[in-house]
Amino acid sequence: MNKNYLKYKGKLYQKLGPLVRSTYAAVCDIGMLTNRDKEAKKFYKFGNGSLISFPPGTMFGQSAISIGTDTMIGPFVTLSAGMMPNQKLIFEKIVSIGDRCMIGRGSHIIGHMHVEIDDDVITGPYVYITDQNHGYLDTTVPIWKQNPVDKGVYIGKGTWLGTQCVILPGTYIGKNVVVAAGAVVSGEVPDFSVVAGSPAKVVKKYDEEKGWIKP
C-alpha cells in the first residue's frame, strides 16, 4: 500500500477520531433514560435518580418492571417481563429492582412470574437472571415444545453478583452474599456467604463467633 496514502489516512483519523468519540459520548448521554423522560412513565415505577444507560438491550413489559431510586442500569442490559412485547401479563409487577442497585453491562433480567432484586445489589457485566426454565418431562418431545417451568427468584440486600454468573429459577439468595464470577446458582443461599462453582456451593460463610469459616 502507498506510504503517502497511509500517512494521509493516519492524519485523517487523528482529526476525525476525537470528533467520533465525543459525538458517541454525547449520543450516549442524550440517549440515557431517566425518570424525567416520557418513556419512563411506561414502567411500573421509575425512581428518582435512576437511569438506564444508552444503548439499552431488549426491553419490553415495562408496565410490570419496577426500578427503585438512585439505581444505575448499564448499557446493553435486557429487561423484560413476559414472553414478548405487548403481551397481556398475569401479574401487575413481575420484575423489581431496588434502590441504589447497579446492573452491569450486557446483563439479562428476564421475568415471567417474579424476580425481586433487593436494595444495594450490584452485578458485574453479563449476569443472567431468570425465573423460567425449559421443561423436560417428555424425552420424545423437543425441549422447546415442552411447557416451561416458572419459579420466583429473590436476591437479597447488599449482594454482589460476579461477572457472567447465572441465577436460575427458584433461587433465593440471602443478604450480603458474594456470588463468584461464572457461578451457576440454584436453591437457597444463606446470608453472609460466598458461593462459587457450577453448580454453585458455599465456599465460605461468616460466623458471628468464629468469623469467616469454610463449611
pTM of the model: 0.90
Q: Give residue 7's pLDDT.
A: 62
Looking at domain 33-213, which CATH architecture does it have?
3 Solenoid (2.160)
Q: What is the mean pLDDT of each run of 10 residues along the chain (215 residues)?
A: 60 79 92 95 97 96 97 97 88 97 98 97 98 91 91 98 98 98 97 96 92 88
Q: Give residue 12's pLDDT.
A: 72
Q: Is 112 a catalytic residue?
A: no
Q: Give residue 22's pLDDT.
A: 92
Is there a contact between 128 and 108 (Cβ–Cβ < 8 Å)? Answer: yes
Q: How many CA atoms lie within 13 A of 133 on its CB side?
A: 15
Q: Give residue 135's pLDDT.
A: 87
Q: Give residue 86's pLDDT.
A: 87
Q: Give residue 2's pLDDT.
A: 59
Q: Where are the domains of the chain?
A: 1-31, 33-213
Instruction: Report the alpha-carbon distance of residue 142 to residue 215 in Å, rounded.
Output: 40
Q: Give residue 3's pLDDT.
A: 62
Instruction: Report the alpha-carbon distance of residue 123 to residue 183 in Å, rounded.
Output: 13
HEC readout, the chain: CCHHHHHHHHHHHHHHHHHHHHHHHHHHHHHCEECCCHHHHHCCEECCCCEECCCCCCEECHHHEEECCCCEECCCCEEEECCCCCCCCCCCCCEEECCCCEECCCCEEEECCCEEECCCCEECCCCEEECEECCCCCCCCCHHHCCCEECCEEECCCCEECCCCEECCCCEECCCCEECCCCEECCEECCCEEEECCCCEEEEEEECCCEEECC
